[in-house]
Amino acid sequence: MLKLNCVNLDKFLEEFAQLEQQMTEVNGKNNALEMMLEDANRLLKLYVTKERSFMEERESLLVTVNSLQQTLQEQCNLRVENERLKSEMANLREQTAQAAEDGEAQVQQLVSDMRAEEERHKRELQTVREQWQTEVERAHGEVITQLEAKDAEVKELLEKKGSGAGGDEKETEGSGEREAERAPEATDGVWCKVSQSSECSSLEPTAAAAAAAWLQPASPECLQEEAAVLPGGEEQGDFGSAPKNQRARGEPARHQLQRQPTEEEKDIVCLNTDKAK
């Protein structure tokens, strides 16, 4: 006899419905997980992109930092160089100021030395002028004294000639010639004294020539001419002057000292004295 198995369909349907519900829930969870995976993949791609951009930015920042560091190093070097140049400029300014002060002091010293030398030259020039003037005056006095003595001798000879006979004329003329020959020797002696004083005063040949022009001696012909003129009644003037007829013609006496030195001649003598020094 057959054994019959009883199946509860309601129970099966209920279990099947539960299984379908579980499968639906699992599918929903799978879909949600897939969506979450897609979101995670998108975020991963975004983060990778951001990481790449950050890496590029980091590289650019590193380049910028390196350039800035190099620039700062250059600026530091420039600052050090600038400080060194400033110190050198300050030293150069101090040296320039010191050199300017030294130069000014040297200029002042040179100016003072020049003034002292100028004063010394003036004093020496004044001394030379005084010596020269003294020598000239002394020579002038000696010449005048000698000329007075010679004039007195000539007068005595003329008086003797006038009082004596006519035969004594030759004697008088011979004595007059002898006296005329002696007169240049006396004046030459005076001129030698003036020349010696000129050499002592360090005068050059120009000054000596000027002194020679002031102290020209009388020639023998001049003395003979005057001796020949005086006995004939010509009147003699003051000592050291020419006869009246000679003064009337405007001719100077040859045995007279010519003239005193002018200011220009004195300046020439002074310049020659400075050159000789």
Q: What is the pLDDT of residue 128?
A: 93
What's the pLDDT score for residue 178? 58
The pLDDT value given to residue 77? 93
53 within a domain of the structure (yes/no): no
Range of the domain at 225: 139-276
Low-confidence ranges of the chain (pLDDT < 50): 1, 165, 183-218, 220, 222-223, 226-227, 229-258
**Does residue 10 lie in a domain region?**
no
Q: What is the pLDDT of residue 81?
A: 93
Token couple for 52 = 């790449």
In a domain, 118, yes or no: no
**What is the reported pLDDT for 258?**
46
Q: Within a domain: residue 181?
A: yes
Query: Is 0.75 topped by the overall pTM?
Result: no
**How many domains does the chain divide into?**
1
In a domain, 162, yes or no: yes
Which residues, 6 or more positions from 270, have their beta carbon under 8 angstroms from its beta carbon?
A: 125, 128, 129
Q: Is residue 125 part of a domain?
A: no
Position 260 scores a pLDDT of 61
Give the model's pLDDT for residue 24: 93
pLDDT at 237: 41
**Domain-embedded: residue 131:** no
pLDDT of residue 160: 85
Assigned token pair, 26: 């699992």
252 in a structural domain? yes
Give the pLDDT confidence score for residue 181 in this predicted structure.
55
